[in-house]
Amino acid sequence: MKIKTHIALFALLASSLLLPINARAKTPSSEDTLDVHATLARANKLLEYNGISRAATLYERVLKHHPTSYPEVAFVLGQIYEHKQPPEKAVLFYHMSIATGISPEAEQDAQDAIQRLQPKGWRRLKVILPQDTSGYVSLNNLYVLSTDPSTPLEILVPPDQYTLSVKLHDHHPEEMEIDLTEESGVTLYPNPEPFMFFGFLDLSVTNYDKAHISITQEVSKSPQGRMNELFFQGKVPKDFKLPTGTYFIEVTDPDHDRWIRRIHVERDLEVEVIVRLTKALPPEIRYDDIRHQEMKYILQRDAHKAIFAASQKAQDNSEQVATGKITRDQALGIKHQRIIAKY
């Protein structure tokens, strides 16, 4: 049988997959430990004596402890369950082997098996995750279906009820219960809450101690998407602790020009900001932007009128010289007049 060939091949490859003999891997969700080497060795031995069901149980135990580390184990489980009825688990394990990085040759075999085993009437599952993250998506805390959050996951799964688990780096795990017994398909948008990390801000205003200081965090980067606004008078406490992210700092005072900067606070690092305010112009000679633009327009308009009038006058003088109404010297005297327009 085909399954025996693949199982025998896996037994030969198993030694390259095992952890060192004395290594013990911790379960992510408990304090229990699993000796991966011993578990795989025992499962391989059971396969040699046709203890296929018991071997499959041990292989699944390894994947529950290390869901993304052993794509070859997921592939062999797909082959085991392909020869059992119904074949739903085989399809999910084949998907898992592809998602976790099986070799290109085995990936093609897995794709062919999925096409062969997947009947009509299965449900469409689409999962779209936040960008710029890393981690994985799994069903029923076993079947890893995606390890690339930047690419939407879209597969067909058997009609059933599932627990969708999303585990992203530096985020709290998120679980969603989905019912695909009647729905033709579903699109999910999990948004796990990020862990809170902190950096430090050292801000000083060197030449003034009564300014208003505003620190505003960029909304998309702030925890849970909430606006984080802080206000200080005169100074900010030394080594002030801030959640990581991007901030806008604004320092204002009626007698000084506004000072504004954009900074990025990184985990466990300190950002030093030194502010030196510039004295503002006296109120009586300040112009707001609208008034300044109006005055500029008026000056430009008047200058253009003056230039046009001078050009028209020069043309008239040329015509008068041609008709003998004025002399050439008189025309040259007029031509040498200059109009200076200031903008």
The pLDDT tens digits for 269-314 are: 999 999 998 888 776 665 555 566 666 666 666 666 666 666 666 6
258 pLDDT more than 80:
yes
Cβ-proximal residues to 187 (8 Å cutoff; 6+ apart), any chain: 126, 127, 128
H runs (alpha helix) in the chain:
2-17, 36-48, 52-65, 71-82, 88-99, 104-117, 289-323, 328-335
Number of Cα atoms under 13 Å in the Cβ half of residue 146: 21
Tokens 């229990």 belong to: 32
Over residues 304-317, the pLDDT tens digits come to 666 666 666 666 66
Looking at residues 14-30, what average pLDDT do you find? 38
pLDDT tens digit string along 115-165?
A: 999 888 899 999 998 877 889 999 999 999 999 988 999 999 989 999 999
244: helix, strand or coil: coil
**How much is the pLDDT for 220?**
59
Tens-place pLDDT, residues 49-67? 888 999 999 999 999 999 9
Structure token pair of residue 184 = 């033709």
CA torsion, points 299, 302, 305, 310, in degrees to nearest 10? -90
- 115-121 CB contacts, 8 Å cutoff, 24+ apart: 117/82, 117/87, 117/90, 117/91, 118/91, 118/156, 121/159
For residue 152, give the DSSP letter: -
Cis, peptide link before residue 173, omega less than 30° from 0: no
Q: What are the tokens at 316?
A: 């008239």
Q: φ and ψ at 153, to 5 degrees?
A: -90, 130
Give the three-class secondary structure for 242.
strand
Is the predicted pLDDT of residue 265 greater than 80, yes or no? yes
User: What's the chain's average pLDDT?
Assistant: 79
Strand 123-127 relative to strand 228-233: parallel, antiparallel, unpaired? Answer: unpaired
**DSSP 8-class letter at 233:** E
pLDDT of the residue at 21: 32
pLDDT for 11: 44
Give the neighbor-by-neighbor strand order of the sheet with 270-275. Answer: 240-243, 198-205, 270-275
